[in-house]
């Protein structure tokens, strides 16, 4: 079955250090991949997506992600973490086509940024 996996339940990083939240995918064809963030008691906020083209995708709040086909990965990165980045992060792929597909999510990774 097609899926995305987030191998880490939690990532801890010090403020100002670079952060990486990992995501690997098992999706046939050309995957549409997404990252969403969820702050406490809030809905999901869209961060960025990879559809086609440049493997390095830039998104909101200084986040970026690199699509790596050979490693089937789509890791989320930020050069310098902020305490306010602490949240729950979800990787997802679109099962189906644009505007008609459903998102299939990974398990989520809690990012903890310490001052």
74 touching other proteins, by CB under 8 A: no
Which residues, at least 6 apart from 5, have a Cβ–Cβ distance to it below 8 Å? 23, 24, 25, 26, 106, 107
Instruction: Note whether 22 binds other proteins by CB under 8 A.
Output: no
User: Which region, judged by CB under 8 A, interacts with other proteins, from 11-19, 31-39, 61-69, 70-78?
Assistant: 31-39
- Residue 61 contacts other proteins per CB under 8 A: no
**CB closer to other proteins, 13 vs 65:** 65
Contact 19, 11 (CB under 8 A): yes
Choose between 16 and 101: whose C-beta lies nearer to other proteins: 101
Candidate list 10, 12, 45, 80; residue touching other proteins; CB under 8 A: 45
User: The tokens of 15 are what?
Assistant: 């403020």
Per DSSP, the three-state class of 60 is helix
In this structure, are residues 28 and 2 in contact, taking their beta carbons and an 8 Å threshold? yes
- Strands 10-14 and 64-68: what pairing? unpaired
Site residues (CB under 8 A) for other proteins?
32, 34, 36, 42-46, 49, 51, 90, 92, 94, 96, 98-105, 107-108
């Amino acid at each position: 079955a097609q899926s995305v996996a987030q191998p880490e339940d939690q990532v801890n990083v010090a403020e100002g250090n670079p952060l990486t939240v990992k995501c690997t995918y098992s999706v046939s064809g050309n995957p549409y991949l997404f990252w969403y963030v969820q702050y406490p008691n809030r809905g999901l906020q869209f961060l960025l997506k990879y559809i086609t083209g440049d493997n390095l995708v830039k998104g909101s709040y200084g986040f970026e992600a690199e699509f790596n086909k050979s490693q089937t990965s789509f890791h989320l990165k930020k050069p310098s973490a902020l305490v306010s980045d602490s949240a729950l992060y979800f990787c997802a792929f679109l099962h189906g086509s644009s505007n008609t597909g459903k998102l299939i999510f990974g398990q989520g990774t809690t990012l903890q940024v310490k001052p």
